[in-house]
Amino acid sequence: MLENVHPNTLALIAAFFVAVARVLYQRALGRLNPTVITGLVNAVSLIFALFLYWMSGGGGGGHGSFQG
């Protein structure tokens, strides 16, 4: 999926998401407990990582295989 997108475009999208995440994180720290914010940020990161892993084919090979 991602091999069809130019690397510079991916970098621009990633930079945008990082900037938005930093703004939201800083604003949320003033209103909520830092532990809650950290948990939410980690949960969102996990969801995106699992989604990208799933979209890329999920590693293939079966149990215990390595495709380096």
pLDDT tens figures, 18-48? 999 889 888 877 888 888 888 988 999 999 8
pLDDT of residue 31: 86
- Summary mean pLDDT of the chain: 81
Please provide the size of the chain in residues. 68
Q: Which amino acid is at 7?
A: P
Mean pLDDT score, 39-62: 82
| Rounded distance between C-alpha atoms, residue 22 and residue 29, angstroms | 11
What would the two tokens of residue 43 be?
Answer: 């949960």
Is the Cβ–Cβ distance between 51 and 1 less than 8 Å?
A: no
| Rounded distance between C-alpha atoms, residue 35 and residue 50, angstroms | 22
What residue spans define the domains of the chain? 2-55
Considering only CA atoms, which of 52, 31, 58, 29 is closest in space to residue 41? 29
